[in-house]
């Protein structure tokens, strides 16, 4: 495929330089002109763009990565077809500047077993996130595990991934051909099926290679290697290296078992087992939600009845009867009249005495006392408007709580309505104070003893005392009350108080010498804020923690900030031998070492080669130093 450097893809992505080239696609460093950021653009070779299966693989890679959000997975940001300029099917990915695990293996040969576990943990964490939503990678190998310059580990190339949320269009044959035979599980070779346990098998083979520096099976042809995966168990790690812990040897052997049912079910289970081994090797490792409404009317005074009329009526009836009986005897008539006159005289005397007594009672005696009007249901002012005209001005007010009658309403009077009082005698009005309520005082910041004293000043009861963590209220002081301050409550209500236990602290493990990625993930999960700073270090492995603050193996407040200083590896590089190499390749090789290249050109040759380099080959220089090459 021709080099497309300089092309503008989809009117957005300006290709800068080619950084990788494979049998299926080429990858370019590019600038997203719309968002002004550096990205990686993967462009399918033109002769494959007509093959629907390969195009579907591109689309599946975009879907798989888009379905995942994990710090250890290379993010795919865009996918499409170039509509203008060079025809191209492309993916736009996060640009990871660094190396592949394969390049690390080629350089180092093998890893120390603690370093290997630190590198495997973030890979397993990423695969665990994929397996949790049903996505299987199906092409785990060192070439697809990237390590950035800062030591961040990322899984790339979900092109062979499959799952319910992304679909599956590749045939069994094409998936086997596209996959790497050295890492294919027996079930993929025999039946062309793959699930999460197949990724576990592939990563176990990668772990074997990291720990021993070699693959478990070798052969002259891919068929021979595939045959061994199906019919042979991988060698014991301890047969290659005695210092490897027995538990780690057994875990890798189980993960690479030919029977998938005997392997860890998914990457999450594999990761848990690996972390358990790390915890055993390092015991200090951190083992890391009725209302009255009556009108007030003046009472009407009723005059006493007399018996005069009744007696006259009775006398008349008696007189009629007597006249009827004595009609025949005229002589006796005068005698009876005389008796009647005498009786009437007696009655008149009695009436006169009664009238005299009544007059005395009304004008001088008890009848002269004032009748008290009814004031119940009215206000105090309304009661005074009734009492004052009667001369009842000596009013005593008594207030009383009442749950049903509104405040300010007269509940009763003494004497009650209809009673009589002497002029100037006191009238007592009982007025409602409304419902009996007490206000919860503010207790925030008080000691429990002071809070208790404030509560019992009112007829309230101190309830439970509950302690919780607080990053705002010091230990031993009140955070809040239940009910809250200012709430109106009844007499004898219970008030519960919440007391601070102070700032919650949690154990902080030491990550010095361990993977910075592991520290970032575990500390964040434990509730810390992590700030990572990357520095050059001549002694500490790239990606490992040089130092941390606060120091490990101590208790620190939750949500506090932990600062990790992570190694970027050596600050120095050696000038490589690039004599007789073409100019573009030489410049790329030096820039990959983070060196600044100055090119001096001689002659008229179209394709120029390196004829001299300064500093000389093998010189140890700092990254970022200037290197001058002469080409001709």
Q: Provide the CATH number for the domain around residue 141.
A: 1.10.510.10
Q: Does 225 lie in the same domain as 172?
A: yes
Domain presence at residue 297 = no
Structural domain ending residue among the three candidates 231, 264, 281: 281
User: Do 39 and 17 share a structural domain?
Assistant: yes
Residues 166, 139 share a domain: yes
Q: Which residues pair with 494 in a beta bridge?
A: 461
Boundary residue ending a domain (567, 584, 604): 567
Q: Does residue 348 lie in a domain region?
A: no
**75 lies in the same domain as 188:** no
Winning range, highest mean pLDDT, from 214-223, 418-427, 483-492? 483-492
Residue ranges making up the domain that contains 542: 509-567
Residues 402-411 pLDDT 10s: 888 889 998 8
The verdict on 162 and 247 lying in the same domain is yes
Pair 113, 262 in one domain? yes
Check whether residue 257 and residue 136 sit in a common domain: yes
Of 131, 135, 148, 28, whose CA–CA distance to 532 is shortest?
148
Is residue 265 over pLDDT 70?
yes
CA–CA separation, 53 and 72 (whole Å): 28
Q: Supply the pLDDT for residue 181.
A: 85
Query: Are 116 and 258 within one domain?
Result: yes
Mean pLDDT across 60-65: 69
Mean pLDDT of all residues in 226-241:
92
Residue 384: its H or E element? helix 380-387
Distances (CA, A) of 557 to 454, 550, 569: 32, 11, 32
Across residues 451-457, what is the average pLDDT?
Answer: 94
Whole-number average pLDDT of the chain: 82
Determine contact, residues 95/38, Cβ cutoff 8 Å: yes
> Distance between CA 257 and CA 218 in Å, rounded?
18
Indicate the residue among 383, 415, 432 that finishes a domain: 432
Classify residue 295: in a domain, yes or no. no
Q: Is the pLDDT of residue 293 over 50?
A: no
Helix (H, G, I), strand (E, B) or coil at 377: coil
Statement to judge: residues 240 and 130 lie in one domain? yes
pLDDT tens digits for range 605-623: 888 899 999 999 999 999 8
On whether both 197 and 126 belong to a single domain, the answer is yes
What is the mean pLDDT of the segment spanning 518-544? 90
139 near 160, Cβ under 8 Å? Answer: yes
User: 438 or 318: whose pLDDT is higher?
Assistant: 438
CATH for 404: 3.30.10.20
Query: Alpha-carbon distance 213 to 113, whole Å?
Result: 11
Listed range (163-167, 456-460, 496-500, 566-570) with the worst mean pLDDT: 163-167
More confident of the two residues 209 and 527: 209
Phi, psi of 308 (to 5 degrees): -65, -50
Looking up tokens 């695990």, which residue turns up? Answer: 101
Rounded-to-integer distance, Cα 239 and Cα 255, Å? 17
Residue-level pLDDT at 373: 82
- Domains in the chain: how many in total? 6
Mean pLDDT of 245-271: 95
Q: How confident is the model at residue 305 (pLDDT cuts 50, 70, 90)?
A: very low
User: In the prediction, which pLDDT does 177 show?
Assistant: 37
- Identify whether 358 is part of a domain: no
Query: What is the model's pLDDT at position 69?
Result: 80
pTM value surpassing 0.75: no
355 pLDDT band, cuts 50/70/90, is low
In a domain, 3, yes or no: no
pLDDT number for residue 306: 38
Please report the pLDDT score of residue 378 as a whole number: 85
User: Does 10 participate in catalysis according to the annotation?
Assistant: no
Q: Poorest-confidence range of 303-317, 525-539, 604-618?
A: 303-317
177-185's contacts with Cβ under 8 Å and 24+ in sequence apart are: 178/24, 178/57, 178/139, 179/138, 179/139, 180/139, 180/141, 180/143, 181/222, 181/225, 181/226, 181/229, 182/141, 182/215, 182/217, 182/225, 183/139, 183/140, 183/141, 184/226, 184/229, 185/229, 185/260
Higher-pLDDT residue of 371 and 518 is: 518
Average pLDDT over residues 29-58: 85
Within a domain: residue 314? no
Domain-located, residue 214: yes
Mean pLDDT of 52-77: 77
Report residue 126 CA to chain centroid gap. 22
pLDDT-above-90 percentage for the chain: 42
pLDDT at 325: 45
Give percent above pLDDT 70 in the chain.
82
Q: How confident is the model at residue 29 (pLDDT cuts 50, 70, 90)?
A: very high
Peptide bond into 451 cis (omega under 30): no
Q: Which comes out higher in pLDDT, residue 314 or 180?
A: 180
Q: Out of 3, 36, 139, 157, which one is annotated catalytic?
A: 139
Long-range CB pairs of 615-621 (<8 Å, 24+ gap) are 615/575, 616/575, 617/575, 617/576, 617/577, 617/578, 617/579, 618/574, 618/575, 618/577, 619/574, 619/575, 620/572, 620/573, 620/574, 621/572, 621/573, 621/574, 621/575, 621/595
* Residue 329 falls inside a structural domain: no
Q: What is the CATH number of the domain that holds 85?
A: 3.30.200.20
User: For residues 55 and 620, which has the higher predicted lDDT (pLDDT)?
Assistant: 620
Q: Specify the pLDDT at position 284.
A: 64
Q: Which two tokens stand for residue 177?
A: 């051909």
Do both 138 and 267 map to the same domain? Answer: yes
Residues 205 and 271 in one domain: yes
pLDDT tens digits for 107-125? 888 999 999 999 999 999 9
Plot region of 330 (φ>0 → left; ψ -120 to 50 → alpha; else → beta): alpha
- Give me 420's structure tokens: 């009589």
Q: Confidence band (pLDDT; 50, 70, 90) for 482?
A: very high
């Amino acid at each position: 495929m021709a080099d497309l450097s300089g092309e503008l893809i989809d009117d957005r992505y300006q290709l800068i330089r080619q950084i990788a080239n494979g049998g299926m696609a080429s990858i370019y460093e590019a600038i997203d002109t719309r968002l002004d950021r550096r990205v990686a653009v993967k462009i399918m070779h033109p002769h494959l763009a007509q093959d629907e299966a390969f195009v579907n693989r591109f689309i599946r890679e975009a879907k798989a990565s888009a379905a995942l959000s994990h710090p250890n997975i290379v993010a795919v940001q865009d996918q499409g077809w170039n509509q203008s300029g060079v025809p191209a099917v492309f993916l736009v990915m996060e640009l990871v500047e660094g190396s592949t695990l394969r390049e690390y293996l080629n350089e180092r040969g093998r890893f120390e077993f603690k370093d290997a576990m630190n590198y495997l943990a973030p890979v397993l964490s990423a695969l665990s996130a994929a397996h949790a939503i049903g996505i299987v990678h199906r092409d785990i190998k060192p070439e697809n595990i990237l390590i950035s310059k800062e030591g961040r580990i990322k899984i790339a190339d979900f092109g062979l991934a499959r799952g319910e949320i992304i679909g599956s269009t590749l045939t069994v044959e094409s998936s086997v051909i596209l996959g790497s035979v050295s890492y294919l599980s027996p079930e993929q070779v025999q039946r062309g099926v793959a699930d999460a346990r197949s990724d576990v098998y592939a990563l176990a083979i990668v772990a074997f290679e990291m720990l021993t520096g070699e693959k478990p099976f070798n052969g002259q042809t891919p068929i021979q290697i595939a045959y061994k995966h199906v019919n042979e168990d991988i060698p014991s790690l301890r047969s290659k290296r005695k210092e490897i812990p027995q538990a780690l040897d057994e875990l890798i052997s189980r993960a690479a078992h030919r029977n998938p049912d005997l392997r860890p079910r998914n990457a999450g289970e594999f990761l848990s087992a690996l972390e358990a081994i790390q915890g055993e090797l390092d015991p200090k490792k951190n083992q890391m939600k009725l209302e009255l409404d009556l009108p007030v009317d003046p009472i009407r005074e009723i005059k006493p009845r007399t018996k005069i009329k009744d007696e006259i009526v009775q006398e008349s009836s008696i007189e009629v009867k007597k006249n009827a009986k004595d009609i025949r005897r005229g002589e006796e008539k005068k005698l009876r009249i005389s008796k009647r006159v005498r009786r009437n005289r007696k009655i008149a005397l009695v009436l006169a005495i009664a009238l005299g007594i009544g007059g005395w009672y009304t004008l001088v005696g008890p009848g002269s006392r004032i009748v008290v009007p009814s004031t119940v249901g009215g206000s105090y002012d309304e009661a005074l408007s009734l009492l004052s005209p009667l001369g009842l001005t000596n009013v005593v007010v008594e207030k009383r709580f009442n749950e049903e009658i509104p405040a300010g309403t007269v509940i009763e009077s003494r004497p009650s309505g209809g009673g009589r009082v002497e002029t100037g005698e006191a009238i007592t009005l009982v007025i409602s104070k409304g419902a009996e309520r007490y206000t919860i005082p503010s207790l925030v910041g008080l000691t429990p003893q002071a809070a208790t004293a404030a509560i019992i000043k009112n007829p309230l009861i101190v309830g439970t005392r509950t302690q919780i963590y607080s990053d705002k209220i010091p230990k031993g002081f009140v955070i809040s009350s239940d009910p809250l301050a200012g709430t109106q409550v009844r007499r004898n209500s219970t008030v519960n108080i919440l007391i601070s236990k102070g700032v919650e602290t949690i154990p902080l493990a030491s990550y010095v010498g361990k993977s910075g990625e592991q520290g970032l993930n575990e500390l964040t999960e434990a509730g810390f804020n992590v700030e990572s700073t990357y520095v050059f270090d001549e002694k500490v492995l790239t990606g490992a923690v040089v130092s941390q603050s606060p120091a490990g193996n101590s208790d620190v407040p939750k949500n506090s900030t932990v600062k990790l200083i992570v190694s970027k590896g050596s600050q120095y590089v050696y000038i490589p031998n690039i004599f007789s190499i073409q100019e573009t390749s030489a410049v790329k090789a030096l820039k990959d070492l983070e060196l600044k290249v100055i090119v001096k050109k001689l002659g008229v040759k179209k394709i120029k080669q390196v004829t001299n380099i300064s500093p000389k080959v093998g010189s140890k220089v700092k990254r970022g130093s200037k290197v001058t090459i002469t080409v001709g």
